[in-house]
Amino acid sequence: MRFMFAAILFCGCSREQTKPQPQMREYNWPIMGTTANLILADDGVDAEKAVGIAKEALEEVNSKLSVFVPTSDASKLNANLGCDYTTYHSFEMIIRSFYFNKITDGAFNPMVAPLVELWGFHRGGEKYDFPPPAEAVSNTLKRCGIEMLHMEHDIYGDDEGNTWCENTIFISAGGRIDFGAIAKGYAVDVAYEELRIAGCTNFLMNLGGNMRASGTREWKIAVRNPLKGVDDEPLEHITLTNGMAVATSGGYEQFHERDGVRYCHIIDPRTGYPAQGVEQVTVIANDAMTADALSTACFVLGAEASKKALAECGASALFVVKNPDGSLRLERIGDFW
Ligand code: AMP
Ligand code: MG
């Protein structure tokens, strides 16, 4: 398996270059299997405090949503222990997962975890000769429906006339959940909100290519060429302004190769096979969670079939597709262009 990170490069630039610019301060730290990167462009913001806030926010989300943290809500759900309503982040993720699953006609599906593992990604390993036999794929696919995920609402009342609602989340036996396609974007949004509440105005929060910009500056983001290295000439530049977010999904991030065929880590939940046809997709949205969820779904759907979900979210996308002669073609969807 090969891992390649940092689908996007970035640089900050200001709208008013003539004014003296506050110094950029940049901080990096490892989390969620990737690197968090915070660029502060505020004068006078206590950088140590800001980094502390961002770190805490990302760590909190990770502690609840990561399948690699044994005590997380996701791990409890996967162990069929259920999960009560007090776990706000997982509640939010489940609600959002149902929504993105619906608007992408099933292309976004966090219940695809058993297939991700069958194809030898994450903790699955290669149990079968690779690629796995068709029968194993179709049997595993049966355990990956979104209907394996349940959310129940119970209304309670007491003698004094108080009523309250409790939500319980659980997964049918054999199912497994994985928030890998949405959790990083969501974590960026949580950090973004916390930083804003603390008074940070001009900053860029980036978690492994899931980015959200804040403030009056314009942030120029370089979209990587999927056929080249991260330091090579970018394919395109995207300018983010206040509140906007971007995420990229690419088949080169994690993959296995057999007999000249590349099997990537994004699975088409409709077939059970790794998605094919798109090299890379970058989504620009009004929040990082939407950009993250849609970039994965658009990778599965391709440009044409993604239009509906992108329009529903007011998002735009840059698809990178390979022509038969091996050259790359860019397809732009949405109002951003
Ligand atoms: P991303 O890098 O955001 O595109 O997310 C990819 C990760 O999401 C994979 O490594 C899997 O853990 C998970 N995943 C794969 N296919 C899907 C899918 N169709 N829907 C939701 N999650 C998926
Ligand atoms: Mg994603």
Which ligand approaches the C-alpha of residue 288 most closely? 2
163-203: per-residue pLDDT in tens?
988 878 899 999 999 999 999 999 999 999 999 999 999 99
Percentage of residues in the chain having pLDDT higher than 90: 76
Residue 234 burial class via C-beta count within 10 angstroms: exposed 0-12, middle 13-18, buried 19 and up? middle
Q: What is the pLDDT of residue 35?
A: 96
Q: Residue 124 pLDDT more than 80?
A: no
What's the angle, vertex CA 30, arms to CA 236 and CA 224, rounded to 5? Answer: 10
- Ligand 1 site, residue 101, Cβ cutoff 6 A: no
Q: What is the pLDDT of residue 274?
A: 97
Q: Are 146 and 106 in contact (CB under 8 A)?
A: yes
**Strand (E) or helix (H) holding 314:** none
212-232: per-residue pLDDT in tens?
999 999 999 999 999 888 788
Percentage of residues in the chain having pLDDT higher than 70: 91
Take atom 3 of ligand 1 and give the residue whose Cα is closest.
181
22-32: per-residue pLDDT in tens?
678 999 999 99
Taking the C-alpha atoms of residue 178 and residue 93, their distance in angstroms, rounded to an integer, is: 11
Confidence of residue 127 (pLDDT cuts 50, 70, 90): low
Residues with Cβ within 8 Å of residue 51, at least 6 apart in sequence? 27, 29, 38
Confidence of residue 158 (pLDDT cuts 50, 70, 90): very high
Residues with Cβ within 8 Å of residue 230, at least 6 apart in sequence? 4, 5, 6, 7, 9, 224
Confidence of residue 13 (pLDDT cuts 50, 70, 90): very low
DSSP class of residue 276? -
Token pair for 187: 């974590």
Confidence of residue 3 (pLDDT cuts 50, 70, 90): very low
Mean predicted lDDT score pLDDT of the chain: 90
Taking the C-alpha atoms of residue 134 and residue 119, their distance in angstroms, rounded to an integer, is: 12
98-107: per-residue pLDDT in tens?
999 999 999 9
Cα–Cα distances in angstroms (integers) from residue 241 to residues 21, 232, 237, 251, in the given order: 17, 25, 13, 28
Give the residue from 261, 280, 214 showing the smallest Cα distance to 241.
214
CA 292 to ligand 1 center in whole angstroms = 9
- Ligand 1 site, residue 183, Cβ cutoff 6 A: no
Q: What is the pLDDT of residue 122?
A: 77
- Ligand 1 site, residue 177, Cβ cutoff 6 A: no
CA 16 to ligand 2 center in whole angstroms = 33
- Ligand 1 site, residue 112, Cβ cutoff 6 A: yes
Q: Residue 16 pLDDT more than 60?
A: no
- Ligand 1 site, residue 251, Cβ cutoff 6 A: no
Give the residue from 75, 42, 317, 39 showing the smallest Cα distance to 200.
42
pLDDT mean over 63-81: 93
pLDDT mean over 271-283: 97
Longest dimension (CA), the chain: 74
